[in-house]
Every structure is written in C-alpha cells, then in structure tokens.
Chain A
Amino acid sequence: MKALATLLASAAIAVAAPAAAQSFVVTNATVASGDGSEPIESGYVVVENGKVSAIGSGTPASNLPAIDANGAWVTPGIFATLTSLGLWDVGAVSESNDTRAGGAPFSAALDVAPVINPSSQHILVHRASGITRAATVTLPSSSIFGGQGAVIDLGADPDAVTQARAFQVVALGEYGGRIAGGSRVATHTLLRAALREASANRAATSADIRSDEVLLTRFDAAALAPVVRGEQPLYVYVERASDIRSTLALKREFPRLDLVLVGASEGWLVAREIAAAGVPVIADGLDDLPANFEELAATQSNIGRMVKAGVKVALNAAAMENPRNLNQYAGNLVALTRMPGADGLSWGQAFAAITSVPASISGMGGQAGVLAPGAMGDLVIWDGDPLQVGSMPVKVFIDGVEQPLDNHQSRLKERYRDLDESDLPKGYDW
C-alpha cells in the first residue's frame, strides 16, 4: 500500500487539461507489456504525445514528468472482447437496452457505432476497473447475423468509436439453430445462401431477382460483402467440436473468409485443426459444465490446451457476469498450472489473453493491449498484481490522457461511507 500512497501523492500528471494527450514516464514499475512475456521488475514506460515511445528496465533518460510507481504494476489497459459496453443501462429495462433488435427488419447491416454511449455507467465502471478498449456488438436476434461490432475506447470524451464496423457476427450451433428456424441445418443453409447472395451483391440490386427469392435485404447483403471478400472478420458463435469443424470447413467454399471462433467450449477436442486453420478463438474462460448438449466436454483446461496446440486465444468477456472480471478469469487460468491433469496458462500468457491477443483479433495488433513503441498510450497503474482478485487501478490513461475514475458506484460508496443522518438526510450528502 505504500506504493499506492506515493502514487496518489504524485498528482502532477493529473492537472493537465483533460482530452490533451500527455507526455510522461512511469518509473520504478513492475511492467507487464501484455505481449505474453513475464513482467519486468524495476521497469519504465515512456508515453509521448499519446503513444508509448519506449519501455524497458532500469531508468530511462528522459526529461518528461515522472511518476514513480514505487514498484507497483504498470500494464497496458485491458482489452475486453466481446462486450455490450455502451449499449445499455439496465439489462432488464428494455428501453435502456440496445443489445438486441429482435423485431428489426435488418440483421447483418446493423451497426452499433452510432449508438455507443460513452457516458454509460458501465463504461465508467469498467474504465475504473482497468478496461481501456473493448469490442462491442449486438446479439444475433432477428437473424443468425448479429450485425457489425465496433472497437471502442472507454475514455471520458465524446469519441468512443476507435473502429466502426470492425467485424460481423453470426450464431451457429444451438442458439443460431433456434433463430434460423429450429435447427442447425437451417443455420448452415441460411449462412451459405446469405454469403452467396452477398458475393453476388450486384444482382441483389437488379430488377431480375424477385424479392421472395432474396433472403437478405439489400443493406444486409451489402454489409456481408466485405465478409465474403475477407475484408471484415466474421465472428462465429459456436461451441461443439463438430460445429467448429463445420465452421472451419466454410473456408473451402468461401476461401477468403476471415474467421474467428467465439465460445468454442469444446475447442480443445479439435485444437490442432483450429491451429492448422490459423483461426483465432475468443473463448469462454472457465466454462466447465455441460450447460447444454453442445458443451458436454467443457473444461477450464480448454484454453490452456488450445494455446498449447498453437491456437491464438482471447478470453471472452461475454461469458462472465461483468467484463471487469476478465482479470479474475485470467488469474484462474494461471491457477490451473498447479493442478495435476489440468492445463492452464503462464502469467504472461494469461495476461496476453485479456490484452494483446483480443486487441490483435480485433484488428488492433501492436496498437492496443500492449506496451510497445508506437502503441496507443493506454496504460494502467494498479494497486496489486492485476490478475489477483481485488486488484484495482490507481491511475488509468487512454491515448495518454489520464482518466477520471469516479462513477455512480464510487459516488454511492462515498455517500454511504457512514450512515450518519443527524444533520441532514443522505440526499444532501453529495
């Protein structure tokens, strides 16, 4: 806690105007770069004009304002994929919740970018938990296609969207089957029809195709055209080993597809095939129950086994109660390395699975989720090991800008720090 006190005292950086990228150096830090390597003791990070310019061990030659971390952990911001951050306020209050559009006439054309709310309390809460960027998307509901997700930052500014239309999602397996008409068979037929229609998108605009022969609206078909061309990744929600194989086989018909598997609870059973296909996975971290018949082989060792087989794996934030539990899940994967028969991840691998790997899968490789020269100045100074339960950020920077960490929750905490109402009701305590 001494490190924490020192950090709080060194407020020099915090006085800079918000929204202006700062230049500074963090010294005397335990630096985890996010690239899969183990942490560096007594390290430093230099941030110039909003970008990381150097990291290393020892003391940098620099005249920039310095923050002495006093041994505390410094890391890239956590990159959360997949999330619904910015799309809702209260889950069960449907008016506030833009994560589903079951009655919409559109599917693949849906695009979250214009509706991300950077003032959402969930963005504020997760910023304070060390998440600096996220991939956000709606759930498939009116069709097996969920629409186009965006990469966002969690900064306290109006510009949340880092990359619009960064990927398209499609649900296969049990969930997709229910949407498509009642079975997996329908999903595959629908998917192929849609992709063929998209690849012949010119035809969809011509008058010689009768509307009842067209499964997609023109907008949806147009939205899928970059998927077929391999210019936009297609995230496929799939769990069962056989469904994973069928997904990988899609590339025989549509060779340019840029596939990403999401979920993949039985991925370990087909890990070598996934690795050979070069397809990355956004996997559910700790699933170990046969939650349904497509996850009979679920085990917490799934990710460790896939990584061992050479698969690029990120942790899926959608599979947990809150994305802010990503670090807890990653820590659990480290714990598995001490269990006979289990397969876990090293600390560096586990941390990469919530930083550089999801960033890379999201098209932000080398720019986000990593402390390396040229990367965005997204960094977090922690009050403890960032994979340990209970560790929280002391300072968060996004694009080199120090971020406010207060939110609805922190205000409630302060209001109810005591229950004293002897002078005035709690309503005046703000």
Chain B
Amino acid sequence: MKKYTLLACAAAFAVAGCSTTGGDGLASASTKDWTAPVGKDGNAPFPSTYTPYPGRPTALIGATVYDGRGGRIDNGTVLFRDGKVVAVGDASLATEGYDRIDGSGKFVTPGVIDIHSHLGDYPTPSVQAHSDGNEATSPMTPEVWAEHSVWPQDPGFTRALANGGVTSLQILPGSANLTGGRSVTLKNVSARTVQGMKFPGAPYGMKMACGENPKRVYGGKGRTPSTRMGNFAVNRQMWLDAEAYDGKKRDLGKETLKGVLDGEILVHNHCYRADEMALVMDMAKEMGYKVTAFHHAVEAYKIGDLLRENDVCSAIWADWYGFKMEAYDGILENAALLRQADACVVIHSDDENGIQRLNQEAAKAQAAGHRLGIDIPDAEVVGWFTYNAAKAMGIAEMTGSLEAGKMADVVLWNGDPLSVYSRPEKVWVDGALMFDAMDRKRRPVSDFELGQPGEGDVK
C-alpha cells in the first residue's frame, strides 16, 4: 500500500524550488574579483563523463513535427547524424545517406525535459535508506550538491524515458531548506555513475524554498525560521554574508552563493503563493541575484504581469491543488493565464509518476485555457515541456528544440503527443536510439531490477 494519501497530501519534503535563467544585468559588482574554484586538474569537480552513444544517420519522414519553439510542420522531415540535428523541414528535404523511418500518422517532438525531478535522490524503492533529497539539518545548505545523492540505478529514470520521452532532467534537492543546495542536470541515459549522466556544459542550479516547508521543518525543531518572516530574515542575512566572501579560504556554501550572485548558477525557487513570490523577487533585487523560475507556482496566475516584467518562469503542475494551505488556490487555468500575460510557462513533475506524462499534463492545462477562451496552439504547448524547460535550465543553446546543430534529442510519438492515447515509440538521446517500443532490448533495465519479478517487462 503506497500512495493511499487519499487526496490528503503530497510529500511536502519532495517538493522543491525554483530559479531563473541568465542573470543578465544583476551581477553583483562586489564579486568581480572572485572566481569559482576548480579542481587541481583545472576542471570543475565531478566532471561529466557522458559521451553520446553511437547512432545511425536517421531521417524521420512523413510525421507531424513540432520543433519545440512553436513551429509545426505537417509531413515534415527531421534529419540527424553524429548526434546532432542536421536539418528540419518539409518533405522536400533530401534524405540520401540516412536511414529512413516512416512517421506517417505519427508525431515528432524534441526530447521531453523535466525541470523538476528528484529521481535518484528519492529513488524507488522509496525506503528510508534511499531518502537522500533533503539535508534537513540546517535551513541553509548551499554546500550540498544533489549529484552526490543521485543513485543512477533508480528504475524511475527508465520509466521517464520509455513512457515520458524524457531525455534531460534537472535533479533538485528537496524543499525542507530555504537554500537546499545545488541541482544537477542529467541526460536520461542509463549509466553506472552519475558523472556518466551529467549533461555536459549545463549550468548548475541552486534550489531555494519559501513558504510552509522550511518554517515547518525548522520551527518543528524549535529553531529559526519558524515563520515566513523568519524565512526572509535568514535568507537576507545569508546573502549579505555571501557577498563579503572573498574565496581565500574555501567555503563550499559560499562558493555556491557567489556563483548565484555572479549569474553562473540559476536559482530555482520552490514557491506557491503569489504574494510570497513577489516578496522573493524584491529580495532578489535587493541582494543582487535573479530568480530563474518559481517551481510549484500554483498562484502564479495572480501575478502574471510581475513574472513577465521580472523575466521569471513558472514551473507548474496542471492540476495539483489543496494538499497544503499554500496550494489551496491552485486552478487548472494557471498556465493559460500566465501565457495570456506573456509570462514563461514550464510544466514540471516533481514526481516519479508525473514525469512519465508531462505531455498529458500540458494538454490538460491547454484545454483549461481553451474553455476560458485562451486558445494556445499545440506547437506552443509542446514547448512547455521541451524548449521552455531547457531555457529555464540554461541548456536551450544545446537542446530543447529541433534545430540544426542542436543535440539530436528526439521523440517519435505513435500519435498526437497531446492525446492521452499516444505514447513514445522511439526516443533518441544525442542521436542514439535509447528506447524503442518495437524492440524489447532497447529498454534499459536497472541493476536493481535484474532477477526480480517483472524484469524487462513493458512497465
């Protein structure tokens, strides 16, 4: 008996934060003479060892293509080779030298990207020995890195690939802490080590959380913060202390905070309530950093204008509501109202099951908008779980859309990806076929599942 929460709660600890892209214009002058330390070999520590797997030059022809940036091509052609998209166009594109895959009646999108996942940090089986997502021992733990908790054998990665078409995902620490630590962005490839999954060149994120969780966790321990005003006091003092850090004596937490102040690390801020998001944006202005995205922003629709003006994305569910006080005003129209305000929408999961259906969540949000008279084209909705996620994770130059020169992260769906009746048929990561519904051997099985009931089943 697992999730018999009977509507009553979502695991508060599993809920994470938010951040913002870029950092343009807000870099703190005081940090100019500081450079983030690197390892003795001159590299950043724990460098990615991921390299693309071999692929065949491939031409997907005849399918409806959504490029992730709002473009739609009927009877389109997508060419990729050597791990990169070569060209995207109509049926007139020449396909000599490519393996041709007939996509008639099918759809092609960029690989799905989840900006908010705890796979690996809260893997299944969800036993206490696997609970590695919250360093809930201090309200500020900018020194911890999510990648040091990731268990690459989490079977959830394989389900996200096979059922969700997920090719990249950001793993965040949980939301017990005001400042939870660094996130890590992964390519969704089976690997023996987390380094083997690390997205090469992806910027770090830093998880922050406002609202109920930090004050409950630390108030419950009889220490600050125990209120929302305590949350802000602790946060502001943290930033003031970080600004003075000169790097002469290494401090892992301050290195992360400096990275944020320098605009190199993106802030992903778990925050539900509209009024609280507005306060956080003001705090960011005061302290000289930028929020890239508010995650779980269930009330974002109340401040679409503010979010647009501050260039902050909202990473949201389609329909979660009511499980905690700050989720009481969640509505299905959140995404559509944000879009009406020209604010950035990302659909996220924060859930090992939801990550398998981000496309369906986006479709629900689209339909709610339609009923309100806000018609959002399918091609744009696809961007909510591809390009917009990549943008808010700082990897849009490399993936998130089907454009020449980008990573060939591609999903061939057996029908309209915004329909409940469709599923990924094939998924390529950097041009390598990593899932194929038609070939049971193109389906990863984690170490944990070997020899267990159901090994290699369709799942």
Beta-carbon contact of A300 and B367 below 8 Å: no
- Interchain CA distance A237-B3 in the complex, whole Å: 11
B304: CB under 8 A from chain A?
yes
Interface bracket on B: 35 or more
Please name all residues of chain B whose beta carbon is closer than 8 Å to the beta carbon of A293 when the two chains form the complex.
125, 127
Beta-carbon contact of A91 and B459 below 8 Å: no
Please name all residues of chain B whose beta carbon is closer than 8 Å to the beta carbon of A387 when the two chains form the complex.
420
Decide: A341 near B440, CB < 8 A? Known: A90-B328, A416-B301: yes
Q: Which chain A residues in 256-272 approach chain B with CB under 8 Å?
A: 262-263, 265-266, 269
A222 shortest CB reach to chain B, Å: 25
Beta-carbon contact of A292 and B2 below 8 Å: yes
Beta-carbon contact of B9 and A174 below 8 Å: no
The majority secondary structure among interface residues of chain B is loop
Please name all residues of chain B whose beta carbon is closer than 8 Å to the beta carbon of A331 when the two chains form the complex.
420-421
- Interchain CA distance A266-B422 in the complex, whole Å: 25
A173: CB under 8 A from chain B?
yes
B240: CB under 8 A from chain A?
no
Contact with A along B30-66 (1 / 0, CB 8 A): 0000000000000000000000000000000000000
A185: CB under 8 A from chain B?
no
Contact with A along B425-459 (1 / 0, CB 8 A): 00000000000011010000000110011100111
B331 shortest CB reach to chain A, Å: 5
Stretch among B19-27, B94-102, B315-323, B384-392 lining the A interface: B315-323
Please name all residues of chain B whose beta carbon is closer than 8 Å to the beta carbon of A325 when the two chains form the complex.
319
Beta-carbon contact of A173 and B325 below 8 Å: no
Beta-carbon contact of B459 and A84 below 8 Å: no
Please name all residues of chain B whose beta carbon is closer than 8 Å to the beta carbon of A90 when the two chains form the complex.
322-325, 328
A340: CB under 8 A from chain B?
yes
| Residue in A closest to B360 when the chains form the complex, CB atoms | A389
B296: CB under 8 A from chain A?
no
- Interchain CA distance A298-B127 in the complex, whole Å: 16
A68: CB under 8 A from chain B?
no
B420's contact among A175, A262, A335, A339, by CB below 8 Å, is which? A335
- Interchain CA distance A426-B357 in the complex, whole Å: 35
B373 shortest CB reach to chain A, Å: 9
Please name all residues of chain B whose beta carbon is closer than 8 Å to the beta carbon of A295 when the two chains form the complex.
2
The majority secondary structure among interface residues of chain A is loop
B234: CB under 8 A from chain A?
no
Stretch among A56-64, A315-323, A372-380 lining the B interface: A315-323
User: Which residue, B5, B127, B414, has most C-beta atoms of chain A within 10 A?
Assistant: B5
B371: CB under 8 A from chain A?
yes
A210: CB under 8 A from chain B?
no
- Interchain CA distance A99-B322 in the complex, whole Å: 14
Stretch among B155-163, B174-182, B225-233, B403-411 lining the A interface: B155-163
- Interchain CA distance A405-B117 in the complex, whole Å: 34
A49: CB under 8 A from chain B?
no
Beta-carbon contact of A301 and B331 below 8 Å: no
B453's contact among A125, A171, A297, A419, by CB below 8 Å, is which? A297
B332's contact among A334, A383, A409, by CB below 8 Å, is which? A409
A252: CB under 8 A from chain B?
no
Decide: A419 near B341, CB < 8 A? Known: A92-B324, A290-B452, A412-B331: yes
A426 shortest CB reach to chain B, Å: 8
Beta-carbon contact of A296 and B452 below 8 Å: yes
Decide: A290 near B155, CB < 8 A? Known: A92-B324, A301-B458: yes
Beta-carbon contact of A91 and B8 below 8 Å: yes
Please name all residues of chain B whose beta carbon is closer than 8 Å to the beta carbon of A319 when the two chains form the complex.
2-4
A2: CB under 8 A from chain B?
no
B396: CB under 8 A from chain A?
no
- Interchain CA distance A284-B414 in the complex, whole Å: 25
Q: Which chain B residues in 342-358 approach chain A with CB under 8 Å?
A: 352-354, 356-357
A107 shortest CB reach to chain B, Å: 16
Please name all residues of chain B whose beta carbon is closer than 8 Å to the beta carbon of A122 when the two chains form the complex.
7, 322
B458's contact among A84, A241, A299, by CB below 8 Å, is which? A299
Beta-carbon contact of B457 and A297 below 8 Å: yes
- Interchain CA distance A121-B127 in the complex, whole Å: 33
| Residue in B closest to A321 when the chains form the complex, CB atoms | B320
25 contacts between A and B (CB under 8 A): A91-B8, A92-B9, A139-B4, A171-B1, A176-B1, A237-B4, A241-B453, A263-B4, A289-B353, A292-B125, A293-B125, A296-B452, A297-B454, A319-B4, A321-B7, A322-B319, A328-B360, A339-B458, A388-B420, A389-B418, A389-B420, A392-B371, A408-B328, A412-B329, A416-B301
Q: Show the binding face of B for A, using Cβ within 8 Å.
A: 1-10, 12, 124-127, 155-156, 159, 163, 212, 301-305, 319-325, 328-333, 337, 341, 352-354, 356-357, 360, 363-364, 366-368, 370-372, 414-415, 418-423, 437-438, 440, 448-449, 452-454, 457-459
